[in-house]
């Protein structure tokens, strides 16, 4: 596997927002979302070669028990499920963020799988693997990154069509940075009456749009 960056920070998103967390960003992505903010991790050749024991040791040395594996798209790396298992066995709480186009079935159910549902504004909505929703557990999360009212309505339809609220209580709506006003998304969420949670990217509010934080 190839490691693009490893760093300690505040978890900026998900139901774990605000918690100190150690991040492992792996190289390679099969999608090209219109709002991507980690283009430096898209290439499969980005970063440096790494082995699972080295990454587990990095996390151990950080002193943090919460770790997120992200990308890029970490499920493009065949060793990712084994990395999750090794971190869980080391006593870590594991979050893994995936773009929703590849099966989450190989990932340990004890990890928290944060699954993107790509909306039309991303340009990648046709890549969604809706079969993933059969694998969801109550600890997993589904994230909808909204760039327009059309995106919001698309997300609401997915929630209803796949009865996602019955599978997990963690349904998250995020505004695309600079495209949707926070107040507009908040109003749409309230209006929908769906059991969802609005979130902002805390790390961007604190440090702006830059890598490694």
Answer yes or no: is 83 within a domain: yes
- pTM for the model stands at 0.93
Among residues 201, 206, 123, 132, the alpha carbon closest in space to that of 162 is found at 132
Contacts for 1 with CB less than 8 Å, ≥ 6 apart: 26, 27, 49, 50, 51, 52, 55, 77, 79, 80, 83
> Per-residue confidence of the chain (213 residues) as pLDDT tens digits?
999 999 999 999 999 999 999 999 999 999 999 999 899 999 999 999 999 999 999 999 999 999 999 999 999 999 999 999 999 999 999 999 999 999 999 999 999 999 999 999 999 999 999 999 999 999 999 999 999 999 999 999 999 999 999 999 999 999 998 899 999 999 999 999 999 999 998 877 888 766 666
The count of domains in the chain is 1
CATH number for the domain spanning 193: value is 3.20.20.70
Q: Which residues form the domain of 103?
A: 2-207
The answer to the question of residue 68 being in a domain is yes
Collapsing DSSP to helix, strand or coil, 50 comes out as coil
Q: Is residue 213 in a domain?
A: no
Bridge partner list, 141: 114
């Amino acid at each position: 596997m190839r490691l693009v960056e490893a760093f300690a920070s505040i978890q900026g998103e998900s139901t774990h927002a605000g918690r100190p967390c150690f991040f492992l960003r792996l190289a390679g992505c099969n999608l090209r979302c219109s709002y991507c903010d980690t283009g430096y991790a898209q290439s499969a050749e980005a970063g440096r070669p790494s082995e699972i024991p080295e990454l587990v040791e990095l996390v151990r040395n950080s002193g943090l028990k919460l770790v997120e594996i992200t990308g890029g798209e970490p499920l493009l790396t065949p060793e990712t499920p084994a990395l999750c298992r090794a971190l869980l066995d080391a006593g870590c709480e594991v979050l893994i963020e995936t773009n929703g186009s590849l099966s989450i079935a190989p990932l340990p159910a004890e990890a928290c799988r944060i699954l993107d549902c790509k909306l039309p504004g991303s340009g990648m909505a046709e890549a969604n693997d809706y079969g993933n929703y059969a694998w969801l557990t109550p600890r997993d999360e589904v994230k909808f990154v909204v760039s327009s009212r059309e995106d919001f309505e698309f997300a609401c339809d997915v929630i209803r069509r796949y009865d996602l609220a019955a599978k997990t209580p963690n349904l998250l709506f995020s505004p695309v940075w600079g495209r949707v006003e926070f107040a507009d998304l908040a109003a749409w969420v309230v209006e929908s009456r769906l059991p969802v949670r609005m979130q902002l990217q805390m790390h961007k509010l604190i440090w702006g749009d830059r890598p490694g934080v």
